[in-house]
Structure 1
Amino acid sequence: MATQARLTDDVIRPDLLLQELLAAATGAGAIVNFCGLVRPEDHEGRKIEALRLDHHPRLTLRSLETIAQDGAERFGLSTCLVVHRFGRIEPGATVVFVGAAALHRRAAFMGADYLMDRLKSEAMFWKKEEGAAGGQWIEPTNEDRADLLRWGN
């Protein structure tokens, strides 16, 4: 597996992905995984019925692959797995899974954190929150941009 990125419109099963990561990460001393969930409310506290992620199959996958490869190289990850959903996703569902395996825990934690900061701000998706009042396109927040700046990006 070494470094792998996937796009899917299927339900993400973190338990199965963690098993896959564990099997592939031979020789690792640490594995960190992260699951991003669709929030039930937007930033203003309004109920969200779904998050819609539109994408371009080749360009979006390429952006995920680049981010995964950059993270693996930067933090010496022996194994890196990024799985991101697209389409209409309801609150509570997993929208992204990131797994980072490394010889030492600090590299695994930092690698996973870096991957998520990059994915949140740079992955090529068009995001729309759907609610009772209609839909609203969303962009990375100032906090997302500040998180990304920590890495010198």
Structure 2
Amino acid sequence: MIRVQQEDFNVQSLYECLVEENKTGAVVMFVGLVRQFADLPKEQCSFELEHYPGMTEQNLSSIVTEAKGRWELLNVTVVHRVGTLSVDDQIVFVGVSSAHRAEAFQACDFIMDYLKSRAAFWKKENQGSDSKWVSANIRDEESLERW
């Protein structure tokens, strides 16, 4: 399942979608949160995410397809929020289930690394009356080299 949405998500219900009775040996999940990014009260900070509908989902689908080609996975769920988010809001969920833990851990890590660098999202930090678009992070690009 791949979803790009404005509304928040429920981790428990997404977890339940990953489990297949008598097959699942491991579920690995990552939940990303909006962190405090400025030296201001958190109420004065927000994070905006924009995307290109259709292209973003295609990017995410390609990343999941690549992961399924590398590891034996049962289910994969990616949910990414867009719109204006506040500090501590959930922003992304990546969940992977497999018969074995090593495959689930590796696939979840792979998907997050590629999502950070290759999915069509644009991010803007709002700090009080100032705002700035977030540039690509060199560490995110370097993380891809291990794959």
Relative to the length of structure 1, the TM-score reads 0.87
Unaligned stretches of 5+ residues in structure 2? none
Corresponding position of 1:67: 63
Match of 1:107 among 103, 110, 117: 103
Corresponding position of 2:13: 16
Where 1:10 maps in the other structure, the secondary structure is coil
Unaligned stretches of 5+ residues in structure 1? none
In the TM superposition, what is the alpha-carbon distance from 1:141 to its structure 2 partner?
A: 1.2
Corresponding position of 1:7: 4
2:131 counterpart of 1:135:
yes
Distance in 1 (alpha carbons) for counterparts of 2:67 and 2:113: 11
In the TM superposition, what is the alpha-carbon distance from 1:26 to its structure 2 partner?
A: 5.3
- Structural mapping, 1:1-153, within 5 Å: 4-22=1-19, 24=20, 27-41=23-37, 45-47=38-40, 49-151=45-147
Query: 1:56 is aligned with what amino acid?
Result: Y
Runs of 4+ in structure 1 off by over 3 angstroms are 45-48
Root mean square deviation, CA, Å: 1.5
Distance in 1 (alpha carbons) for counterparts of 2:92 and 2:25: 23
Query: 1:14 is aligned with what amino acid?
Result: V
- Change in CA separation of 1:90 and 1:74 when aligned onto 2, cut-off 3 Å: same
Give the % identical residues.
34
Where 2:88 maps in the other structure, the secondary structure is coil
> How many aligned positions are there?
144
- Change in CA separation of 1:26 and 1:136 when aligned onto 2, cut-off 3 Å: farther
Where 1:106 maps in the other structure, the secondary structure is helix
